[in-house]
A and B are shown apart, each in its own frame.
Chain A
Amino acid sequence: MSDKKKLAVWKFASCDGCQLSILDCEDELLLLADQVEIAYFPEATKTIIEGPYDVSLVEGSITTPHDALRILEIRKNSNLLVSIGACATSGGIQALRNYLNVSKYVNAVYAKPKYIQTLETSTAIADHVQIDYELRGCPVNKYQLLEVLGSFLNGKKPTIPDHSVCVECKLDGNPCVAVAKGMPCLGPVTHAGCGALCPHYYRGCFGCYGPMENPNTTSLASYVSKNGLADGDVLRLFRNFNSASPQFSNESKRYETAK
């Protein structure tokens, strides 16, 4: 038996993009496989080694009664549980259902709705079990993922700053698209991690990493609204990959009347 730490990767309601970020590590993936025993990772290997696991990475949100039970089992079986990505940390894009009637969707989408068992809401892993660490992003940034795993293996605190995307934007030398082009940008209220990818390509930030440490969504929303952004657009600004995070959710509700 190896004395390597056992790593498990679990999937809930998600697009698999975050798991792909792990596979996307390529060169580092071999190093990772050297350091840990990949005990459960169906997307990558058929081998299944039984728990308990030293680290569980959890992708996806909880959307079915079955999954709500499954996550309890995983928690019991894991020493460290890290939720990865917007779905796992805030409910993901599928949390848009939280604002509407799910049975309507089910009836519209499925030929035989009676076979579908689903919850009214899509919720974050932390809403169901205690988590040890959350890694944000839609999808997660592979370097941050390696930083989290590497820190766990080497006994240090991961270097994952929770300040705004604006900090990354300025450090990278992008002229601000909000100020220089008048585009609505979620950067000032969004958690860093992407390296200000969208502003770098002349787009406002979409908020993939969810709320930053102390987001003032109300100030940003009222500023863009005062500058002519229609209420429906302000609402949509906060309703995408992290729409169910408490701060983005509350802000979007203020603009709901105008849908």
Chain B
Amino acid sequence: MSKSEVHKYRVSTEDLQQIFKALSSKDYQNIGPIQRDGAIMLEKIQSFDQLAAGFHEDLDKGVYRLSQKNDGSLFQYTVGPQSFKKYLYPPRRKLWAATKTGNGFNVEEGDQPPAKMAFWGIRSCEIRAIEILDRIFLRGEFSNKWYEKARQDLFIVAAGCTKPSGNCFCTSTQTGPAPKGGFDLSVVEVIDKKNYFILEIGSEKGQKLVNKIKLQPASPAEIQNADKLLAASEKKMSKRFDPEEAAKILMENPDHIHWNEVAKRCLSCANCTLVCPTCFCSSTEDITEITGDHTERWLRWDSCFNGDFSYIHGGQIRPTTKSRYRQWLTHKMSGWYDQFDSSGCVGCGRCITWCPVGIDLTEELLAMKS
């Protein structure tokens, strides 16, 4: 047996359940994909049974449909509208509050970051997205303290993607479909007479957690089954482009005629940025009680598609939808390299699925080429 095989185990759904329990007993809050209102959503869960089971998806541009089979599968869909970002960088949070006193005011602390979290079924593209968020928020002296704390004791159970959606393109962005590092445990689900998973341990923390669980080493044939599924998954992704070339084309074409075309379709609704696992823009809002005695400062997700977001003294920097779409795509796919050493896109396809008029950024990129 070669060295790499030693670290792979064949585990059953029941074994995963043990892992789930082990995490709970170590005070981790398990968070994972559940089915709610016709979509895969990421929520805090108390029991393993809450995980979405038997779900399959059918995605297209601006279209998301789930169906359920009796196959007991756990990870045969990809991603829903949410990303785990919402737990590391919540959509809304109170930063601080102030209350008037006799001759001054008291400042009160805002919301506190969660303690130990365990993310279940996180896909390779999203692990890469969290690494991008790390580069954005963890900057020594200028770190985002909330993020830092939320990130500190994170346990990651990854799932390899064997059934990419029609909107996935992680082969182009080189961010998937097989999780490569950045996890504590990782599984690839094999659908069989009795489904099993090939488990890989990715960290000491992961090793320690499973130490007490009796795991059965996977056979070479079983490992090969999982590898074949991942290789096939890569082939299934039909959207292709070269990110480095895209970055160049975008930077060189701020006046391309095609920006007008996409602006005719774009609603400037901001959905694409709100579902993106790497978009991180936010605004602060002050809410003052009518008496003027108490005020709260809140942080909430914002978007380059919102007019107020680029409002400075005298007006908006980006008043048109054209300038907003261009800002989004050019920053994400091009300017990001200079700022954060990579593209801002990990190829998850969420922005394509959840755009209410089905705009596909990979098609827009290709159109800029001509």
Contacts and interface: CB of A to CB of B under 8 A. Distances in A.
Interface string B260-291: 00001111111100110000000001111111
Given A163-B307, A166-B356, A179 B63 contact: yes
Contacts of A138: none
Contact of A179 (B92, B274, B354): B354
Interface stretch (B21-29, B36-44, B168-176, B204-212): B36-44
B261 to A, nearest CB: 11
Contact of A214 (B92, B290, B292, B307): B307
A147 B287 CA distance: 7
Nearest to B287: A159
Of B38, B82, B275, chain A has the most CB atoms within 10 Å of the CB of B38
Contacts of A28: 290
A179 B62 contact: yes
A171 B274 contact: yes
A188 interface: yes
B290 A216 contact: no
A154 B100 CA distance: 13
Interface residues of A, number: 44
B79 to A, nearest CB: 12
A153 B271 contact: no
A214 B322 CA distance: 11
B40 to A, nearest CB: 9
Interface in A190-215: 202, 213-215
Of B41, B267, B285, chain A has the most CB atoms within 10 Å of the CB of B267
B300 to A, nearest CB: 7
B328 interface: no
Contacts of B41: 173, 175
A166 B62 CA distance: 14
A113 to B, nearest CB: 44
Contacts of B91: 170-171, 173
A216 B288 contact: no
A149 B290 contact: yes
B64 A179 contact: yes
A164 to B, nearest CB: 4
Interface in A218-236: 218-220, 223
Given A167-B303, A176-B81, A219 B267 contact: yes
Contacts of B355: 179
B349 interface: no
A188 B356 contact: yes
Given A150-B289, A171-B91, A216 B356 contact: no
A253 interface: no
B292 A153 contact: yes
Given A170-B274, A179-B354, A214-B321, A154 B308 contact: no
A55 interface: no
A32 interface: yes
Contacts of A151: 288
Task: Using C-beta atoms within 8 Å of the partner chain, give the interface range for chain B.
Answer: 35 or more
A54 interface: no
B171 to A, nearest CB: 24
Given A175-B39, A180-B65, A188-B267, A161 B290 contact: no
B251 to A, nearest CB: 25
B231 to A, nearest CB: 30
B291 A185 contact: no
A32 B82 CA distance: 39
B121 interface: no
Contact of B265 (A149, A179, A219): A219
A34 interface: yes
Interface string B26-68: 0000000000111101000000000000000000001111100
Nearest to B86: A173
Contacts of A185: 356
Interface string A171-184: 10111101111100
Listed from nearest, the 8 A-B pairs whose CB atoms lie closest are: A175-B39, A188-B269, A170-B274, A150-B290, A188-B267, A163-B306, A171-B91, A166-B269
16 contacts: A34-B291, A149-B290, A164-B267, A164-B268, A166-B356, A170-B275, A171-B301, A175-B38, A176-B64, A179-B63, A180-B37, A180-B64, A185-B356, A213-B306, A213-B307, A216-B321
Interface of A: 28, 31-32, 34-35, 146-147, 149-151, 153-154, 156, 159, 161-164, 166-167, 170-171, 173-176, 178-182, 185, 187-189, 202, 213-216, 218-220, 223
Interface of B: 36-39, 41, 62-66, 80-82, 86, 91-92, 264-271, 274-275, 285-292, 300-301, 303, 305-308, 319-321, 353-358
